[in-house]
Amino acid sequence: MHRAAFRSLFLAALVAVLPLAPRDAEAQQRPLVFGDTMPASLDPHALFDVPSQFVLLNLYDGLYRYQGNPPELLPWLATGHTVSADGLTWDFTLREGATFHDGSALDAEAVVYSFRRLLRMNRGPAGAFTPVLSPENVTATGPLGIRFVLSRPYAPFLSAIPLVAIVNPRLVEANIRDNDFGTAWLSANDAGSGAYRITPQSYQARVQLDLTRYREHFRGWSGNRAPIEEVRVRPVLETSTRILALMRGEIDVSDSYTPPDQVERVNRNARTRVARDESMRTFIIRMNNARAPFDNRDARLCFAHAFNYEGFNDVILRGQVVRNGGPNPNNLWGNPPDLQPYRFDLARAREYCDRARAAGAPLGREIEIHIQSELDQTVQAAQMFQADLRRLGINLRIVPNTWPGITGATARAETTPDMWIHWVSTYFVDPENWVGQMYDSQFHGTWKASSWYRNDGVDTLLRRARASTDRAERETLYQQAIRQVVTDSPDIWVYNTVNLRGLSRRVQGYQFSPVGSGGEIRLMWLEN
Amino acid sequence: MLLALPALLGLVVATFILSRVIPGDAAATLAGDAATPAQIADIRARYGLDRPILEQAIIHVRQVLTGDLGNSIFTGRPVAEEIAQRLPATLELTFAALLLSTLLGVPLGLIAALDHNGPADHLVRLVSVAGLAIASFWLAIMLQMVFSMELDWLPLRGRIDVALGLPPRVTGFLLIDCLLAGDGRRLSSAMLHMLLPALTLSLPGLATIARFTRSGVLETLQKDFVLYARAAGYGRFRLAAIYVLRNAITVTVTQIGLLFGGLISGAVVVEAVFDWPGLGTYAVQAILAADYKALLAVTLVVGVVYAIVNVVVDVLQAVIDPRVSDGTR
């Protein structure tokens, strides 16, 4: 290429780069940029994890929905429900006038279709229903009536109802390929009725998703004086980039896990703040109760007294969490009011260890603790624990792992690590989500019950609580179960999360709820 | 090119075995957080994850040979489709980094050689050592802190301003698509977004190219024909730029080809820090989700790209130095 051609090319590039200055002027019209993690799939029946709640809350509606903190279960698409005296038959009535994004009516048939699809796919949130509900037992009793007949009483049924998004049957049916329930199509498209709909052609899996306000949403928009018209979901992978992008105004909403040491910095920035809300997400160090030395209660109590709760919560996490001494989050019903959490006390820990050693517990062997390498807190907790246990003559080896690696291993007691660290998030607001599924031995093989704890008395209490429809009775039963579980000390309960979501100061109306972590865009507006 | 096929087949088999022996249960990931053991077992059977690993490997190789990379375990979507969406972003970034490395590295190497053991040589050596020693992750964050946060000159992350959005997709290469759409604003935004990641990615390559060019030029300067050219009265820079560099550059070109593979793997870190939606971030997400189908496909695609680049390098060498093709060298 000749020199003149090079020169022209360079000049062309320069001219192209020049018109960049008026960024501030453009900023006034910027849509809301949501920088939290995107779910792997947009099919609300295929996945059930924390990121998928964003889809559930914004693209879809359910019969009931949790709102506020503490979360209140409110009728949503339904106007209400009745339950038979035996707790088996649940009748819901739909409100009139709700429509899907294509304008078609959302009726009882759509609700029946959605529940049957979920149960037949047997994925995502189906696990909350399959033990008590089969597809043929979900029926329409009229254009607005839906009946569920359970195979046995199951009190958490209503708590789990908000997990199920109502999908547009006509759209899904038209896109079924090879008996896939339409999941390939729905993983990248929208068949909902929610307050926002997908901007066509905008979706790239795990990269971007653009949403547009659905003006005809059945709740109306009168409660929001300036609803957000356009939303751009742009997940930011790296924590440091996420914080900087928020402070620079490139994103408006970060994830809920701002590192505690960054909270002050974000709050100091003129553009940004951190919304601080106590959630229902507990941090737990698990012990494999099926394997020595953790099959010995004294050994477990030794470990429970050797973790420096105050040091971790108040110093490392800068007090941005709340000490939680039992399996349920503090702010949930069903906790014994007099529950005493274990304290960091190395002298007592030594006594328990000595007793355990005397009973033959092999505390001299190397104990492995698996951490989730990409999550700093699990690393920090393990390192702190390692240092304190060394003072008791216990050798703790830290093993890097990933969430899939650990959950895969917890399917069997033999492959479950000695110890591992994780959180239990709010999937539904009921003690069943924590103590029920963590310590009833019928859940062995799931990651939630991965401490392989077994106590027949606790099993009985939890099963009775699950079957009762009397809230007061359930509360008493859960309190008894929790007292026994804490006495047995199967795990080490460290804290309940305080959600630390970074927000641009132009974001107004943000309302936190432990279900969905405040990701409901319908409630927000922007101030320039 | 045919010689690359057995290597690629080996790559497919080796990566399959590696991906299945590392910890992680794809079925558990796919089932989601609240899954029951029955749900996980159902998924394991549906995806054939319960079959013996050898059988799974044979099925996988057979699928790959028919051009089917399968569906992502995590998203449920065809992996080929997801990679086709991501690959242009990585190639664009890699080419930009390679271009920067070459455009800066060759002149630096030449200058260093011509000023052998002089101040310029020492300076280039310093740059080279720094380029190889500085971790990309650290450099990326430093560049973000300086150019985005302090000076506010360049964007921090992503491929284009969020408010502008992407141009209509034709090739997936953003710069080309912006040009095809005749959209100057998007083009300028895309170019600015590319600067910091490309610069971060280019530094180790720049150092390598500068060092190889320097040693190639130094070696060539000792040749007899250079002495004769000097005696014939050629100026120092004319001699270096026209005769010495052409003779010295073949080794550098080989190195550039090898660098390409390194740059693609280096892109994993750079893409993660700059939120560049390419194959690197795709691979990271696949690893964290135990999505072995996606991981295998990424490895295969990178292998194929690497093989193609090697062929291109061979051809380029023959063009630059005719002795390569006529066998006299």
Question: Residues B58-82: pLDDT tens digits?
Answer: 888 888 888 888 888 778 788 999 9
Q: How many CA atoms lie within 13 A of A268 on its CB side?
A: 6
B24 and B85 part of one domain: no
Q: What ipTM does this complex have?
A: 0.83
B164 and B228 part of one domain: yes
**A464-478, B41-55, B204-218: least confidently modelled range:** B41-55
| DSSP output for A278-304 | EEEEEEEEEE-TTSTTTTSHHHHHHHH
What CATH number does the domain containing B257 carry?
A: 1.10.3720.10
Q: How far apart, in whole angstroms, are the C-alpha atoms of residue A513 and residue A26?
A: 32
Domain with B27 in it: 4-65
**A20-34, A70-84, A147-161, B74-88: least confidently modelled range:** A20-34
Residue A271 clears pLDDT 60, i.e. is over it: yes
Chain B residues in contact with A128 (beta carbon < 8 A) = 34
B311 and B269 part of one domain: yes
Report the DSSP pairing between strands A145-149 and A230-233: unpaired
* B73 in a structural domain: no
Contact B156 A43 (CB under 8 A): no
B190 and B243 part of one domain: yes
Contact B24 A13 (CB under 8 A): no
Q: B322: exposed, middle or buried (C-beta count within 10 Å: 0-12, 13-18, 19+)? A: exposed
A445: alpha, beta or left, given left = phi > 0 and alpha = psi -120 to 50? Answer: left
Residue B1 clears pLDDT 70, i.e. is over it: no
Question: What's the pLDDT score for residue A460?
Answer: 98
* B267 in a structural domain: yes
Q: For chain B, what is the domain count?
A: 2
Question: What's the pLDDT score for residue B230?
Answer: 80
Question: What's the pLDDT score for residue A324?
Answer: 95
Residue of B21, B25, B99, B194 to mutate, testing the A interface (most A Cβ within 10 Å of its Cβ): B25
Question: What's the pLDDT score for residue A47?
Answer: 81
**A177-191, A409-423, B23-37, B186-200: least confidently modelled range:** B23-37
For range A128-140, the mean pLDDT:
94
Q: How far apart, in whole angstroms, are the C-alpha atoms of residue B44 and residue B26?
A: 8
Contact B141 A240 (CB under 8 A): yes
* Sign of the torsion formed by the C-alpha atoms of A205, A206, A212 and A213: positive
Q: How many CA atoms lie within 13 A of B100 on its CB side?
A: 19
- Chain B nearest-CA distance from A455, in A, is 21
Q: Tell whether B85 lies on the interface with A, counting CB pairs under 8 A.
A: yes
Q: In which band, very low, low, confident or very high, does the pLDDT at A25 lie, cut at 50, 70 and 90?
A: very low
Closest-CA residue of A relative to B78 is A184
* B240 in a structural domain: yes
* B72 in a structural domain: no
Residue B23 has its nearest CB partner, among A50, A240, A409, at A409
* B87 in a structural domain: yes
Q: Tell whether B157 lies on the interface with A, counting CB pairs under 8 A.
A: yes
Q: Tell whether A407 lies on the interface with B, counting CB pairs under 8 A.
A: yes
**A121-130, A345-354, A489-498, A513-522: least confidently modelled range:** A121-130
* B35 in a structural domain: yes
Q: How far apart, in whole angstroms, are the C-alpha atoms of residue B317 and residue B216?
A: 14
| B63 contacts: CB under 8 Å, gap ≥ 6 | B69, B70
Q: For residue A443, which of B219, B190, B39, B250 has the smallest C-alpha distance?
A: B39
| Number of alpha helices (DSSP H) and beta strands (DSSP E) in chain A | 17, 18
Q: Are A523 and A225 in contact (CB under 8 A)?
A: no
Residue of A1, A20, A242 to mutate, testing the B interface (most B Cβ within 10 Å of its Cβ): A20
Residue range B108-123, pLDDT digits in tens: 998 998 888 999 999 9
Contact A207 B277 (CB under 8 A): yes
CA angle at residue B267 from B265 to B273, to 5 degrees? 135
Q: For residue B262, which of B207, B321, B201 has the smallest C-alpha distance?
A: B201
Q: For residue A198, which of A527, A521, A525 has the smallest C-alpha distance?
A: A521
Q: How far apart, in whole angstroms, are the C-alpha atoms of residue A39 and residue A318?
A: 30
Q: Which helix (H) or strand (E) holds B301?
A: helix B292-320
Q: In which band, very low, low, confident or very high, does the pLDDT at A229 lie, cut at 50, 70 and 90?
A: very high
Q: DSSP label at B297?
A: H
Q: Tell whether B31 lies on the interface with A, counting CB pairs under 8 A.
A: yes
B48 and B158 part of one domain: no
* B70 in a structural domain: no
Question: What's the pLDDT score for residue A290?
Answer: 97
Contact A18 B76 (CB under 8 A): no
Q: How far apart, in whole angstroms, are the C-alpha atoms of residue A66 and residue A74?
A: 6
Provide the residue type at B45 as one letter. A
What are A389's two structure tokens? 């246990």
**A39-53, A250-264, A398-412 — most confident range:** A250-264
B160 and B96 part of one domain: yes
Question: What's the pLDDT score for residue B22?
Answer: 67
- Chain B nearest-CA distance from A86, in A, is 26
Residue B163 has its nearest CB partner, among A30, A248, A406, at A30
Single out the residue in B41, B65, B89 at which a domain terminates. B65
Q: For residue A416, which of A292, A290, A295 has the smallest C-alpha distance?
A: A290
Q: For residue B173, which of B156, B157, B186 has the smallest C-alpha distance?
A: B186
Is A104 or B285 the better-scoring residue by pLDDT? A104
Interface size between A and B, measured as CB pairs under 8 A: 182
Q: Tell whether A344 lies on the interface with B, counting CB pairs under 8 A.
A: no
Contact A125 B26 (CB under 8 A): no
Residue B39 has its nearest CB partner, among A52, A122, A425, at A122
Q: For residue A485, which of A306, A335, A313, A356 has the smallest C-alpha distance?
A: A335
Residues β-bridged to residue A92:
A81, A146
Residue of B22, B47, B162 to mutate, testing the A interface (most A Cβ within 10 Å of its Cβ): B162
Q: How far apart, in whole angstroms, are the C-alpha atoms of residue A349 and residue A347?
A: 5
Q: Tell whether B75 lies on the interface with A, counting CB pairs under 8 A.
A: yes
Question: Mean pLDDT in chain A?
Answer: 92
Single out the residue in B65, B99, B116 at which a domain terminates. B65
Q: In which band, very low, low, confident or very high, does the pLDDT at A7 lie, cut at 50, 70 and 90?
A: very low
- Chain A nearest-CA distance from B5, in A, is 31
Residue A54 clears pLDDT 90, i.e. is over it: yes
Q: In which band, very low, low, confident or very high, does the pLDDT at A29 lie, cut at 50, 70 and 90?
A: low
Residue A355 clears pLDDT 90, i.e. is over it: yes
Contact B284 A19 (CB under 8 A): no
B160 and B304 part of one domain: yes
Q: Are A305 and A343 in contact (CB under 8 A)?
A: yes
Question: What's the pLDDT score for residue B327?
Answer: 55
Contact A48 B36 (CB under 8 A): no
Residue A466 clears pLDDT 90, i.e. is over it: yes
Residue range B49-58, pLDDT digits in tens: 888 888 888 8
Q: Tell whether B188 lies on the interface with A, counting CB pairs under 8 A.
A: yes
Closest-CA residue of A relative to B283 is A206
Q: Tell whether B42 lies on the interface with A, counting CB pairs under 8 A.
A: yes
Residue A6 clears pLDDT 50, i.e. is over it: no
Q: Tell whether B23 lies on the interface with A, counting CB pairs under 8 A.
A: yes
Question: What's the pLDDT score for residue A22?
Answer: 40
B37 and B109 part of one domain: no
Chain A residues in contact with B35 (beta carbon < 8 A) = 48, 123-124, 127, 446
Q: For residue B306, which of B90, B27, B24 has the smallest C-alpha distance?
A: B90
Q: How far apart, in whole angstroms, are the C-alpha atoms of residue B303 and residue B21?
A: 21
Contact B33 A405 (CB under 8 A): no
* B74 in a structural domain: no
B95 and B181 part of one domain: yes
Q: Are A95 and A122 in contact (CB under 8 A)?
A: no
CA distances from B9 to B6, B145, B313 (A): 5, 43, 22
Contact A405 B23 (CB under 8 A): yes
Residues β-bridged to residue A230:
A212
B265 and B151 part of one domain: yes
What are A84's two structure tokens? 């038979």
Residues β-bridged to residue A367:
A396
- Chain A nearest-CA distance from B95, in A, is 17
Is B6 or A493 the better-scoring residue by pLDDT? A493
Q: Are A418 and A398 in contact (CB under 8 A)?
A: no
Is B234 or A39 the better-scoring residue by pLDDT? A39
Q: How many CA atoms lie within 13 A of A295 on its CB side?
A: 8
Q: How many CA atoms lie within 13 A of A341 on its CB side?
A: 22
Residue A40 has its nearest CB partner, among B74, B141, B284, at B74
What are residue A382's phi and psi, to 5 degrees? -65, -40
**B189-193, B288-292, B322-326: least confidently modelled range:** B322-326
Report the percentage of chain B scoring pLDDT > 70. Answer: 94
SS3 at position A367: strand
Q: Tell whether A199 lies on the interface with B, counting CB pairs under 8 A.
A: no
Question: What's the pLDDT score for residue A476?
Answer: 97
Give the A window 251-280 contacts with B, CB below 8 Å.
none
Contact B85 A204 (CB under 8 A): yes
- Chain B nearest-CA distance from A340, in A, is 29
For range B302-308, the mean pLDDT:
83
B127 and B12 part of one domain: no
Single out the residue in B40, B65, B90 at which a domain terminates. B65
Residue range B201-224, pLDDT digits in tens: 999 999 999 998 898 888 888 888
SS3 at position A232: strand
B275 and B322 part of one domain: yes
| B119 contacts: CB under 8 Å, gap ≥ 6 | none
Q: How far apart, in whole angstroms, are the C-alpha atoms of residue A156 and residue A468?
A: 9
What are residue A455's phi and psi, to 5 degrees? -145, 115
Strands across the sheet with A321-323, in order? Answer: A321-323, A491-504, A272-287, A419-424, A367-372, A396-401
Report the percentage of chain A scoring pLDDT > 70. Answer: 95
Question: What's the pLDDT score for residue A14?
Answer: 46
Q: Are A251 and A34 in contact (CB under 8 A)?
A: yes
Q: How far apart, in whole angstroms, are the C-alpha atoms of residue A99 and residue A109?
A: 13
Residue B183 clears pLDDT 50, i.e. is over it: yes
SS3 at position A88: coil
Q: DSSP label at A50?
A: T
CA distances from A13 to A8, A16, A20, B198 (A): 9, 5, 13, 16
Closest-CA residue of A relative to B140 is A241
Report the percentage of chain A scoring pLDDT > 90. Answer: 80
Residue B191 has its nearest CB partner, among A16, A40, A241, at A16
Strands (E), A385-520: 396-401, 419-424, 491-504, 507-508
Q: How far apart, in whole angstroms, are the C-alpha atoms of residue B9 and residue B300?
A: 9
What are A158's two structure tokens? 């209503």
Contact B34 A237 (CB under 8 A): no
Contact A125 B156 (CB under 8 A): no
Q: Are B301 and B87 in contact (CB under 8 A)?
A: yes
| DSSP output for B250-262 | HHHHHHHHHHHHH
Chain A residues in contact with B289 (beta carbon < 8 A) = 40, 404
